[in-house]
Amino acid sequence: MRTFRLAALVLGIAAVDQAVKVMVKLTFLPGEMRPVFGRAFRLTFVENNGFAFGLTLHDLAGSWAGAWSAVEAKYLLSVVSLLAIGLLMYALWRYREHRSALPWMLAVITGGALGNVIDRTFYGWLFAERNLYQGGWLQGRVVDMFCFDPSPGSFAAPVFNLADVAIAMGVFSLLFLQHRFHRQHKERLAAERSDDGKEG
């Protein structure tokens, strides 16, 4: 039952993320901005060709990545993203019975990662006639739309999507709460064994 709920959380996050992205992709022009709360929070249609904040393999690897063409680098990024999804799913399966919020945070991260991987894998082909870039399988760009800029014009505010929010929340939880998760797991497991002993 827990496995089903974890899978539902993963698919639910990815589905909502995709619904928002498709809506933006079909109804916004590239670069179009629509205010929600003035300019402090707005929807801005941006397509990200790399990792977070638009970083690409060329940005991260320097001269080593320079040997790759833009298309080849994009293929590599997409394949690495697919492998990362596989590793996340393995970790989620391994820790699915952990007696803490750990598996739920892994599910949140996996759902966000899946949402962005769908863009990279399918959008280059699915929206080939609408894209302003070379399309094809594994050549898609991630659709971003949320821009929080409390002080407009003071800095270049990042544009992100729901999947990015899920990944950030999950990763920060694992980084700062992992010791609590493992302590809760040990305490709850000990309590369960104690209860089993009393019943026996």
CB 172 within 8 A of CB 159: no
- Looking at residue 122, what DSSP letter applies? I
Instruction: Return phi, psi of residue 78, to 5°.
Output: -65, -40
Residue 17 appears among annotated catalytic residues: no
Residue 164 appears among annotated catalytic residues: yes
Radius of gyration for the alpha carbons in the chain, expressed in angstroms and rounded = 20
Query: Per the residue annotation, which of 17, 119, 149, 164 is the catalytic one?
Result: 164
Distance CA 101, CA 140 (A): 33
**DSSP readout, 50-78?**
SSGGG--HHHHHTHHHHTS-HHHHHHHHH
Query: Where do the H-state alpha helices sit in the chain?
Result: 2-27, 57-61, 63-66, 70-94, 102-118, 124-126, 162-199
Active-site residue set: 144, 164
